[in-house]
Structure 1
Amino acid sequence: MNKELHEMKYLAEKVADLKAKGLYRTLPVNQGACEPVLQLADREVINLCSNNYLSLANDARLKEAAIKAIERYGVGAGAVRTIVGNQSIHEELEKALAEFKKVERCFIYQSGYDCNIGTIQAICDKEDLLISDQLNHASIIDGMRMVKATKQVYAHSNMEELEALLQAAQGKYHNIFIFTDGVFSMDGDLANLPKIVELAEKYGAFTYVDDAHGSGTMGSHGRGTVDHFNLHGRVDFVVGTLSKAIGVKGGYVACKEVSYQWLSHRARPVLFSTTLSPADTAAAKKAIEILTEDDSLQKQLWDNSRYIKEKLTALGFNTGHSETPITPVIIGDEAKTMRFSKALLERGVFVSAIVFPTVPAGTGRVRVMVQAKHTKEQLDKAVAIFAAVAKEMGIIS
């Protein structure tokens, strides 16, 4: 046996390089539910880094729905949906989502990542052109890589460049698809969906929006970025997640009936992996019911978001140009960003460092994510810790 080979020396060298650059991290361990305040192994910390926008991940109503579903359906679906895994609760969730999103159908996946991986490879062919915003989420990029089609990228939100690509593509491809995030997760800005849709209709292209961070936060009652811009019926595929504002697990594609029928035959994550658990499905359905009936959590989220943005900006932090509850605090240097995040955690604020390759080199930041149930006292305490640590590190004066 070649012992040296099996010791994975090549990976050990890569890990050592991360440590040398100050980019190595260990996984934190949360001892309880995802709440505004977390209990880590040795301390309580204010949680400013989860995607639990509406504080539904530990909501009593969702937990009750999950428990009842387990009692009726069991803990697992037992198979993929095309065999015996398609339980009535899955059909009920899809119907509730379609009504909520104001579309013909919604097709559920096991995760938001699976939505993009599964849908893009199912709807696109090698004769097509796939056009992507430069800052689209990794799951869109990975989904596009799985298709042997021509790919082009336009500079972030540059509509002139997008139109030039569309003009040059006329008559050369079977189909043209424009892919964009609805809310860009690293900067919190919105896609220019009205213009994208206008150009798509002008040049005969399909539109595909990943609205993972817009679901539950944007639009009436959290219906998303398409609703925010009043573009119902004009966007062909809208991806939403059930694991962020909805507080559970999974994802879905809002689409036409014929798109649903095709995906049920060709979406590989659904065809080859067991579907959502009954508990996840029932909890997500309850969350959609709550959002449909009441927008108070969404209003609380936006109130907290505006509150902390104003305070951080007033202190002199670079918070970019966010238009959503995502607030980047841009530090720049990757290693310094990691040190800042670590120092904040030691003082009682948990906010993750985001560095290259997730964001471009030299734009390291901590990403502040508030929840609906954060109190003003918790946010004030977090801001005070931000200020103290940043002054010690020379980030602000």
Structure 2
Amino acid sequence: MAKIRHNNIIDTVDSVLSVSKKKGIIHLHAQDQTLNGQVLTLNGHQVLHFGTCGYLGLEHNPKLKEGSIDAIMRYGTQFPMSRTYISNPLYSELESMIRTMYNAPVVISKNCTLSHLTTIPSIIRSTDLVILDHQVHASIQEAVKKLLSQGVAVEMIRHNNLEMLEDRIKKQRNKYDKIWYMADGVYSMYGDFAPVKELIALAEKYEQLHLYVDDAHGMSWAGKHGTGYVMSQMPEGLYRKMILTANLGKAFGACGGLSLFPNEEWYNKVNNFGGPLTFSVQIEPATLGAAIASARIHLSDEIYEYQEELQHKIEYFNQLLKRTNLPLVHENNSPIFFIGTGSMDTGNYLVQELINDGIYVNLATFPAVPAKNIGIRITISLNNTLEQIETLVDKLQLHFKRALEETNQTDEKIRKAFKMAPLATSVEVKTPANPASSQLIVKKFDTIQNINAAVWNNYIGNDGMVDWNGMKFLEDSFRDNEEQENNWDFKYYVVEDAQGELVLLTSFVVALHKEDMFSQASVSKVIEKEREFNPYYLTSTGIFMGSLFTEGNHLYLNKNNAQWKEAFKLVMDELYRVQENTQASNIVLRDFDAEDKSMDEFMVDQGFVKIDMPESCVIENLNWTTEEEYVESLSRKNRRHYVQKIKRNEPFFDVKVKAQLATEELEHAITLFKNVKDNNFSLNNFLFPEKLFHLMNESKDWEFVVLYIKEEYSQNKLPVSVCFCHINSAQVYSPMLIGMDYDYLMEYGVYRQTLYQVIKRANALKCAKVNFGISASIEKKRVGATLYPKVGYYQAKDNYAMELIEATIAVEKE
């Protein structure tokens, strides 16, 4: 199987966060000598603190501080033993108090993440099914990933979509002992709630359905004894088929994770040997002392005074927001609020300006939210006064308006991104036209025939198969086909400045694609099994720079022109209009230089995330006339490879170059290509239409390098390899596709021999270079190709498909 370089999600996240870090928005250090929960000192000046998860301010409560100090004085700074042997004396007291609060057995872990890692693998069996809510916290998803390697089936549904959940239960209930739906009680970004009562009703309807709910952000500020939002929805106590996790940090004021069980059986399974619970260090005495002090408050009427006061401030903030046009994504009575900004650029600018003006809020960015749904998370706590909340709203309005103006964003775009109702026309927030953008002219075309061939070839086409004739060939090939995936809409964009100078030239296709196109091969293999019954599973319409057939440079951008960013933004605006009209799920801009830092920052600001693309492989040295000179151009290691793997096998082959294949031979060549397609999941796309191959056969721009095994070595008279090669107007040779007979692949080294024969052919034609494409880069490097790292920029309407693939399918080593 041909291997390619796959994207690493860690690198993608790093590229996004690095921009915000550079702008002084994340990875900050508070500079205070003491903290009170109201203000922080950042970069030398004070800011009001609207980013805490300590909603009740208990972390500064004197009773908790005294509890910590007393515990240290009595028990020291730590109790360095596994709980399997002996627990710190304070554990039993805290466990007893928590059990009283919830009227349920509890296991206490050092934090919520460890609670999930302790509980989930201990309770879930290989005969169970796990269904994740799309927005369930990352700590749960990480714990569930451990189950994948144990053969547990995992699925994902869209956020709070009970209809989708019930559909999956109906289809799967006879296959599994239990179906576990995992969700958050209060979601950490938008502050919305799980529909707890409806979930319980569904669990009563289907005995297989069980619930695993994390109420880390609902703890303390809601519920009897501060047991949280989820418990507030269950007046009769913890539901018989629910495991509930909660947090001793955040609003509770200490630190630790709780796992609460509806029966002693599940409790004992986790408590006896709960993975990390057994071998991880215990909670420190100081933290246990603070937690016990907090638990006393929770078991008294004092907690209700705190809850009532916080609700008053939350309601006041809601009232103030209603008087504004700020795009509040969810209105509710939780202490978490989310104001949408849409793009990273706008979010970064808004947070920066707020910090400079004395207000701290959290930037919510990818992957916590989709790259197109950036915003600011605001939290209200008891530490905030009503006057400070008024100041927050005033400054939010001021800087939000400025952020729109400075980043060329509009309220309309933001509301569309979050699927919010538009503002009434009378109060629409208008963003003045960017003077630089207004001097640019955007021309749009649906066919290459409306663009001058010389202009296109000079700026883009001379580089590879995407010359004017090549684009016309693609237009003819990918239209009027029976399969919907093989009918593409072509879009061309030309941007000129006021002087008529070309600033930008590019093309896109709107096409159905497989969401796992760039996933690991092992992932695509799993998904393809489902597609045997559901051919369009995990497929969607996308907008792609270039096409799904070509690789290489699809964009001319004059960065010497001061307006290049504005030109690019204008094209993006056009793409968003296309996206709205076609309901495309994502936009992919591809094959950019991996070292272009200015493009990185610009694209992240526009709400795109960087993804690694397969390397582009190019033979650039065709200035040799003999085989000896070619071999001499290779490295010492690659010369040895040539002798052992290529030269030794060359006598077995007859090689013919054909401008056209006979009908039967063309059909055989198509079959050979299908062989390769069926064996290569590293770049997973739809099978190209047969029309494509027939048009190749009729075109003067295409030829076929055909390899046969000589008669003395095989009775097979059919080709064992066919390479479909394009020659553009600038004499660039591009072997675009290959078909092979896998019965001969290993014994005769068919693939390596084909690569070599293609190079010989390009040399014979005195071509400028060979574009070898994007797969099997190691093999191509061995025959002399230079590898160029490439990146793409990806923006999705939501992260559902990406996160479903990542969370539910185990990656296997290839």
Q: Which has the higher contact order (CA 8 A, sep 6+)?
A: 1
Change in Cα spacing, 1:45 to 1:128, as seen in structure 2 (3 Å) is same
Residue 26 of structure 1 and its aligned partner are, at CA, apart by 4.5
Provide closer, same or farther for how the CA distance between residues 173 and 21 of structure 1 changes in structure 2, counting only shifts above 3 A. Answer: same
Question: 1:242: Cα distance to partner?
Answer: 0.9
After the TM superposition, which residues 205-220 of structure 1 pair with which residues of structure 2 at under 5 Å, given as runs?
205-220=209-224
Gaps of 5+ in 2: 1-7, 405-409, 412-428, 430-814
Q: What is the aligned partner in structure 1 of residue 69 from structure 2? A: 67
Q: 2: distance between equivalents of 1:14 and 1:161?
A: 30
Query: Residue 20 and residue 313 in structure 1: after superposition, are their counterparts in 2 closer, same or farther (change >3 A)?
Result: same
Counterpart of 1:181 in structure 2 is: 184
Aligned counterpart, 2:268: 261
Q: Deviations over 1:135-187 (max 9, x none)?
A: 11111111111113111111111111111111111221132211111111111
User: 188, 193, 206: which one pairs with 1:190?
Assistant: 193
From the superposition, tell whether residues 100 and 42 of structure 1 become closer, same or farther in structure 2 (CA, over 3 Å): same
**What is aligned with 1:225?**
229
Equivalent residue number for residue 144 of structure 2: 144
Deviation at 1:309, TM superposition (A): 2.3
Counterpart CA distance in 2 for 1:59 and 1:343 is 32
Cα distance in 1 for partners of 2:106, 2:327 equals 39
**Aligned partners of 1:112 and 1:241 also within 8 Å:** yes
Task: Give CA-to-partner distance per residue, 1:274-321, whole Å, 9 cap, x none.
Answer: 010111011112112112212111111111112122213322111122
Give the deviation of 1:13 after TM superposition.
8.4
Task: Compute the TM-score of the two structures, normalised by the length of structure 1.
Answer: 0.91
Aligned to 1:393: 403
**CA apart distance, 1:353:** 0.3
- Contact in 2 for aligned 1:177/1:207 (Cα 8 Å): yes
Residues 1-397 of structure 1 correspond to what in structure 2 (within 5 A)? 17-18=15-16, 24=22, 26-30=26-30, 31=32, 32-33=34-35, 35-84=37-86, 86-103=87-104, 105-148=105-148, 149-204=152-207, 205-230=209-234, 232-234=237-239, 235-255=241-261, 256-293=263-300, 294=302, 295-323=304-332, 324-394=334-404, 397=429
Give 3-state SS (helix, strand or coil) of 2:194's partner: coil
**CA 1:137–1:19 in structure 2 vs 1: closer, same or farther (change >3 Å)?**
closer
Gaps of 5+ in 1: 1-9
Aligned equivalent of 1:5: none
Alpha-carbon distance in structure 2 between the residues aligned to 1:15 and 1:129: 29
Structure 1 residue 222: Cα displacement: 2.2
Q: Which residue of 1 aligns with 2:432?
A: none
3-state SS in 1 of match to 2:255: coil
Cα distance in 2 between the residues matched to 1:198 and 1:332: 36
- Cα RMSD of the aligned pairs, angstroms, is 2.2
Alpha-carbon offset, residue 45 of structure 1: 0.9
The offset of 1:20, in angstroms, is: 7.8
Which secondary structure does the structure 2 equivalent of 1:82 belong to?
Answer: coil
1:60-94 Cα deviation digits (max 9, x unpaired): 1100011111111111021221123x112111111
Q: Is the 8 A contact 2:326 2:397 kept in 1?
A: no
1-structure distance, mates of 2:256, 2:276: 12
Query: Per-residue displacement from partner, 1:340-375 (whole Å, max 9, x unpaired)?
Result: 111111111110100111112211111110111311
User: Counterparts of 2:266 and 2:307 in 1: how far apart (Å)?
Assistant: 30
Q: 1:118 to 1:13 in 2, by over 3 A?
A: closer
SS of the residue 1:240 aligns to = strand
Q: TM-score, normalised by structure 2?
A: 0.46
Preserved contact between residue 309 and residue 319 of structure 1 (Cα < 8 Å)? no
**Equivalent position SS for 2:84:** helix
Instruction: Give the Cα–Cα distance (whole angstroms) in 2 for the partners of residues 15 and 142 of structure 1.
Output: 16
Say which structure is richer in strand: 2
Deviates more, 1:13-22 or 1:380-389: 13-22
CA distance in 1, matches of 2:92, 2:43: 40
Moved more, 51-60 or 12-21: 12-21
**Counterpart contact for 2:203–2:210, Cα < 8 Å:** yes
1:226 Cα offset (Å): 2.9
Indicate the percent of aligned positions where both proteins have the same amino acid: 27
What is the CA distance between 1:257 and its match in structure 2?
A: 2.2
CA contact (8 A) 1:49 1:369 kept: yes
CA distance in 1, matches of 2:323, 2:275: 48
Amino acid paired to 1:50: T
SS of aligned partner of 2:341: strand
| Aligned-partner Cα distance in 2 for 1:224–1:172 | 34
Shift in alpha-carbon separation, 1:145–1:21, aligned structure 2, 3 A = same
Cα distance in 2 for residues equivalent to 1:359 and 1:80: 37
Aligned-partner SS, 1:173: coil
Equivalent AA in structure 1 for residue 199 of structure 2: I
Give the partner amino acid of 2:363. Answer: A
Counterpart amino acid of 2:335?
P
Give 3-state SS (helix, strand or coil) of 1:81's partner. Answer: coil
User: Cα offset for 1:29?
Assistant: 1.6
Task: Give the Cα separation in 1 of the matches to 2:26 and 2:394.
Answer: 26
- Are the equivalent residues in 2 in contact too, given 1:34–1:52 (CA < 8 A)? no
- Asked if the contact 2:340/2:376 (under 8 Å) is kept, the reply is yes
Distance 1:174-1:57 versus aligned 2 partners, 3 A rule: same
The 10-residue stretch of structure 1 (293-302 or 62-71) with the greater mean CA deviation from structure 2: 293-302
- Contact 1:49 1:367 (C-alpha < 8 Å) held by counterparts: yes
* SS of aligned partner of 2:79: coil
Distance 1:191 1:222 in 2: 18
Which one has a bigger Cα radius of gyration? Answer: 2
